[in-house]
Amino acid sequence: MRTSGPLRLIGQELARFTLPQDHAPRSPITTDCTACGACCAAPDIHALNKPLGVPCTHLGPDQGCGHLCATYATRPSVCRNYQPDWVCGEVAPLPTLNARTRRFLEIYGLQAD
Ligand code: SF4
Ligand code: SF4
């Protein structure tokens, strides 16, 4: 995964990942995707049979901030349609994929199984 980001949360997933009402965004500036891998690891993605908090099987190794999608050319539409937003500013600067995943889940008030 790189460029515009892998995931767009739709239907049931969108409802689950709606930002809590009382949450104040702390990174209002949206930047380009840095391929940090958080949105390939944190959400549950039904199209990929991927559980919450578990990295997608197509996600490459953590190299600081620069994960690659091994199936980028044929990744599903849920990945193609995802757009970076302020959450990227919260998670991408963190040093490891585990830290980025934990922060992503924390923002949405979720815990991995
Ligand atoms: S969380 Fe944001 S910066 Fe990180 S891979 Fe996904 S879209 Fe890119
Ligand atoms: S297929 Fe997996 S690694 Fe590739 S963009 Fe989608 S979630 Fe990320």
Is 36 near ligand 2, meaning CB less than 6 Å away?
Answer: no
Q: Ligand 1: residues within 6 Å at CB?
A: 1, 5, 33-39, 84, 88, 91-92
**Counting beta carbons within 10 angstroms of the beta carbon of residue 97, is it exposed (0 to 12), middle (13 to 18) or buried (19 or more)?**
buried
| pLDDT at residue 99, as a whole number | 94
| Per-residue model confidence as pLDDT tens digits over 28-82 | 555 678 899 999 999 999 999 999 999 999 999 887 778 899 999 999 999 998 8
Classify residue 18: in a domain, yes or no: yes
- Cα–ligand 2 centroid distance for 58 (angstroms): 6
Mean residue pLDDT across the chain: 80
Classify residue 91: in a domain, yes or no: yes
Whether the model pTM is above 0.85: no
Domain count, the chain: 1
Ligand index nearest the alpha carbon of residue 27: 1
Classify residue 76: in a domain, yes or no: yes
Classify residue 5: in a domain, yes or no: no
pLDDT, average across residues 8-31: 53
pLDDT band with cut points at 50, 70 and 90 for residue 10: very low
Classify residue 113: in a domain, yes or no: no
Classify residue 34: in a domain, yes or no: yes
Does the pLDDT at position 26 exceed 80?
A: no
Provide the residue range defining the domain that includes 41.
Answer: 11-107
Name the residue with the closest Cα to ligand 2, atom 5. 6
Query: Can you list the alpha helix ranges (DSSP code H) found in 1-113?
Result: 11-16, 77-80, 86-91, 97-107
